[in-house]
Amino acid sequence: MVGVNNCMDYNDFLKADQWALFREVIFNHYDGRCQYCGDPGSDVHHHTYHHGLFNPRTVTLLCRPCHEIHLGRQPSHIPDDHPWKSKLVRIAEIARALGMDWALKDGKSPASVDSRDRADSR
């Protein structure tokens, strides 16, 4: 079991049976679709870790390009007339201002970035 204080290596956590089951529940809940753009989802994104890692109210399903918006990547794959486009652009701007784009510069994907790595980069 992994806790908020990273008692387990993050990559090991992603391979754990408990995470696989939780991820399947989230995929089924969102019909396998990214909640931002509607493309097939690939990543379960935590909005917060303060309420535990397995709280379905604190996660959403995103495709990889939308997940990378939270690391500062511009949402260029989303049409300009999409109702959330301006909000997603703003999220990317804030992520870059907070220095979250370091992982993109290093070529890492959101799913491979350990929260301890994020803390070390600050």
Q: What is the pLDDT of residues 38-53, one digit of tens each?
A: 999 999 999 888 888 8
Which residue pairs, CB below 8 angstroms and at least 24 apart, start in 46-54?
Answer: 49/4, 49/115, 50/4, 52/4, 53/2, 53/3, 53/4, 53/13, 53/19, 53/22, 54/18, 54/22
| 3 state DSSP class of 7 | coil
Element (H, E) at 68: helix 64-69
pTM of the predicted model over 0.95: no
Task: Give the angle subtended at the CA of 100 by the CAs of 60 and 59, to the nearest 5°.
Answer: 10
Average pLDDT of the chain to the nearest whole number = 83
Give the separation between CA 113 and CA 38, rounded to whole angstroms.
Answer: 24
Confidence of residue 118 (pLDDT cuts 50, 70, 90): very low
> Is 60's pLDDT higher than 60?
yes
Give the separation between CA 112 and CA 39, rounded to whole angstroms.
Answer: 21
Return the domain boundaries, the chain.
10-120
pLDDT digits (tens, 9 = 90+) for 11-32: 888 888 999 999 999 999 999 9
What number is the average pLDDT over the span 84-107?
87
